[in-house]
Amino acid sequence: MFPILSPTWALSRSVFRVDPRSASRRAAAVLAALGATVTLPCAQAQAPEPLQSVVTVASRLPQTPDRLTADAVVITREQLALLPADNLADALQALAGVQVSRTGGPGQPTSVLIRGAAASNTLVLVDGVRMGSATLGQFDFSTIGLAGIERIEVLRGPGASVYGADAVGGVVLVTTRAARPYTGRSGPNVDGSATVLNRFAATGGSQSSSDVSASTQVAQGPWDAQLQWARQASAGVNAVRPGDRFGLYNPDADGYRRQTLLASGGWQLAPGHRVEASALQARLFSRYDSAEYAPPTYAPNPLLDFSTRTDTSASALRYEGRYGALTWRARLGRGVEDSTSGARQLDTYRTERNETGLQVAWALASGHDLLAAWDRLEEQVRTNNYSTPAARDNDALTLAYTGQFGAVQVQADGREDRNSVYGTHRTGRTGLRWALTRDTSVRVLAATTFRAPSFNELYFPLYGVPTLAPEQGRSLEAGLAQRMGRAQWQATVWRNHVDDLIGYSADPARCPRTPAYAFGCAANFGKAELKGYTLETQWPVQPGSAQPTWRLAYDGVDARDGKGQALPRRARHQWRLQSQHTLAGWQLGTAWLWQSERREAGTVLREGTRLDLQALRKLGAAMPGWSLRVSVLNALDRDIEPALDYRAPGRQFFAGLRWEGR
C-alpha cells in the first residue's frame, strides 16, 4: 500500500482488475536522453483551441486543457483522417499509455490496455452509453469502425469517482458525428431546407479488403439530422499459427465484414436549449479458428467453420438547457451487444443496458464549477449457458468541484454506487495542477477505483460465485508539462495498487462448499501492482494547427501480480514515432511502433516492430472536394505475434478516393 491524497470526503478502498493470463518481460533500459514522447497532441501541454481541444471525459464537464488535473487527450476527426489506421483500436494505439491486444487481424476480438490494466479495467462509452459485454466484462473494439466517429476522448487514469465501476485504467469516450446546419448550396429547394450527400469514401486493398461509406444530412430552421452508412470487409489471413497449444490451427482465411448505420438529429428548442437523439447499429461477422470436442473420443476438431456474429447498438436521447449560471443535462440511453458464435454448437450471449441520468452544473464564480449528478443503470444478460436470465441495477450519486485559485487548479469529486448484487461502494478523486510559469505546470492526482465482477464471474456454471466482491484499487500519479518555443513535452508517473483481485482459483477451499466447484471457481484473492511512466513530446507545434510535424512517445510499464510475476501481454517498453510532412502537394504520414518482449502462459512473445505509411492528396480544382489516399500497413512486412499462437497480417496496400462536400 502507498499513501494517497485524501479527497474532501472519505475515500473508500477500490478495485483494480488485472488480467492474469499473460506477462510482460523486463527489457533494456530506455534511452532517457530522448527525453519525451507523444502520439497525438497532449491535452495538458497543448494550448487550447476553440472547441477542438475542449475535454469532457475527465470530469463530465467541458474543460480547456489548462484546467485539467487528470491526464486526458482528444483525437479529432481531422486527426483521425491523418492517421494511417484503418480501425478504432489502431487509432487508439497511436496514443501514449495505450497497448492493443488482438487475437489475429482486423475483425478479430480486440481489447485495449491502458497503463498496464486489463481490458475489463477500461470503460468504453459511445455517445455517453456504456458499451461492451457484461458476461466478459469488457468491450470488443473490433465491433465498430472509424466511419462516423467525430472525436475520441481518452482519460488515461482513474475515473470511477465520476463514472463508477470499471473506470480504473482509463475511459474511452467515442462521440459519433452529429448533423450540422449545412451552409453551402445544395441545389433547388423551396422550403429553406438543405439536403445533401456530403461525404463519400471508397477504399480497396490487400486480402480483398474494401471500405465504403456515405453520409447525408438535412437541416431546416431549428431542426437538423444526419444519416451515415459504412461497410468494411476483408478476406483476412489465417489467425492461428501452426502448432498452437490447443490444436486450433485451421489453414483457412479468417476474414470479416462489418456494416454500420448511424443516425442522429437535433432540435434547438430555444437559445441554450437543445434536444438530441442518436442511434448506432453495427453488425460484425467474423470467422475464427477453434475446435469442438465431440464424444466418444473428445479429440479436438479444428476443421469446422467457426464464426461469430455480433450486433452492437447504442441509442441515446439527450436534453441540455442553460439558465444563467446553471446548465443541466438529462439523458436516456440503451446499449445492446448480441453475439452468436461457434460451428455446429452455438453459444449465444445478449447484454442489455438501460440508462437514465441527470446532471446539473453550477458556475459558482469565474473558474469555479460544481456538478451534481444522478445515474441509474439496469443490466440484463441472456445466454444459453445460464439456466435463467441474470440482472442487476445500480444507482449512483456524484458530486464534483473544480476551482481555480490564481496559478493553482483544484479538482475534487466523489461518487456512491449502490448495486443490487455487490452492494455499496464509494470512490473519490482529488487533483491539483500548478502553473509554475506560463509554459510550465505540474500536477498530482490521487483516486480510488473499483471493478465490478462480470456476470460470468458471478453466474457461469461450475465457475461463477454470486457472492464475489468487487476488486478494490487506489491510484496515484504526478505529471510535469512544459512548452519550449514551438515544441512541448510532458512526463507522467503513475502507480495503481489492487486488492481482492478476481481470478480463477483451482483451490476448492476458496469456493462454496458444493461438489459443483470440485475443480475450482472464480474467487477474490491476491493483489497486483501496476506502475510506470510515460514521456511524450511533439515539435514543432504550428500556430493554429493541431498537427505537429513530429511526435515521439515512450511507455514504461511494470505490471505484476501479488507473487511478483509479470502480467500477460504487457510490453515492458513501448516506443512510438509519428510524423506529418507536406511534399509536392502530398501530405505524408508515418507511424512507427516498437514493443519489447511480452510474456503469456510461460512463453516469451518476441519484440515487434510495425511501420505504417500514408499519403493524402487533394485532387484540385478539376475535382473539387475529392482527395486520394494511399497507405501501406506493416510496410516492413514483419511477422507480428499480437497474442500467443496468433498472427497479424503482413504487408498490406490500400488505395481509395474520398469526397467531402463541405
38 has a pLDDT exceeding 90? no
Residue 189 pLDDT more than 70? Answer: no
**pLDDT surpasses 80 at 428:** yes
Contact in structure between 40 and 79 (CB atoms under 8 Å): yes
Return phi, psi of residue 465, to 5°. -130, 110
Question: Average pLDDT of 73-86?
Answer: 87
CB atoms within 10 A of CB 392: 17
Which residues are within 8 A (CB) of 646 and not within 5 positions of it... i.e. 6 or more apart? 102, 103, 104, 108, 239, 240, 241
| Domain ranges, ordered by start, for the chain | 22-180+193-660
Helix (H) or strand (E) holding 292: strand 292-293
Task: Output the average pLDDT for the chain.
Answer: 87
Say whether pLDDT at 245 is over 60.
yes
Q: Do the beta carbons of residue 64 and residue 367 sit within 8 Å?
A: no
- For residue 414, what is its C-alpha cell? 466523489
The reported pLDDT for the residue numbered 387 is 85
**Residue 658: closest CA among 230, 309, 321:** 230
Domain 22-180+193-660 class, CATH top level: mainly beta
Q: Which secondary structure element, helix H or strand E, spans residue 556, and what is its range?
A: strand 550-561
E-strand ranges in 26-159 read 72-76, 98-102, 110-114, 122-126, 129-130, 149-156
Tell me how far apart the alpha carbons of residues 231 and 234 are, in angstroms, rounded to a whole number: 10
Residue 611 has pLDDT above 90, yes or no: yes
Pair 194, 151: CB distance under 8 Å: no
pLDDT digits (tens, 9 = 90+) for 200-235: 899 999 999 999 999 998 888 899 999 999 999 999
Neighbours of 33 (CB within 10 A): 5
Q: How far apart are the C-alpha atoms of 590 and 583, rounded to whole Å?
A: 13
**581-610 mean pLDDT:** 93
Q: What pLDDT, on a 0 to 100 scale, did the predictor assign at position 546?
A: 52
Instruction: Give yes or no for a contact between 343 and 290, defined as CB atoms under 8 angstroms apart.
Output: yes
344-363 pLDDT, tens per residue?
Answer: 999 999 999 999 999 999 99
Average pLDDT over residues 333-354: 96
d(CA 360, CA 355): 17
Kindly give, in sequence order, each residue whose CB lies less than 8 Å from that of residue 273, ignoring residues fewer than 6 positions away: 319, 320, 321, 322
- Reported confidence tier of residue 295, pLDDT bands at 50, 70, 90: confident
pLDDT digits (tens, 9 = 90+) for 503-540: 999 988 899 988 889 889 999 988 999 999 999 999 88
Average pLDDT on 143-159 reads: 93
pLDDT tens digits along 536-575: 999 886 555 556 789 999 999 999 998 899 999 999 999 9
Lowest mean pLDDT of 59-68, 204-213, 318-327, name the range: 59-68
Tell me which H or E stretch contains 558: strand 550-561
**Per-residue model confidence (pLDDT) at position 100:** 93
pLDDT given at position 194: 47
> What does the pLDDT average to over 605-619?
94
β-bridge mates for residue 125, sequence order: 130, 173
Distance, first Cα to last Cα, the chain = 55
Contact indicator for 347, 340 with CB cutoff of 8 Å: yes
- Evaluate if residue 40 carries a pLDDT over 60: no
Residue 662 — very low, low, confident or very high, per pLDDT cuts 50/70/90?
low
Distance CA 144, CA 259 (A): 9
Do the beta carbons of residue 419 and residue 452 sit within 8 Å?
yes
pLDDT above 50: residue 169: yes
Single pTM value for the model: 0.89
> How confident is the model over 45-68, as a mean pLDDT?
72
**Coil, helix or strand for 148?**
coil
Q: Report the distance separating Cα 398 and Cα 375, nearest Å.
A: 8
Mean pLDDT of 165-193: 64
Res. 199 pLDDT band, cuts 50 70 90 = confident
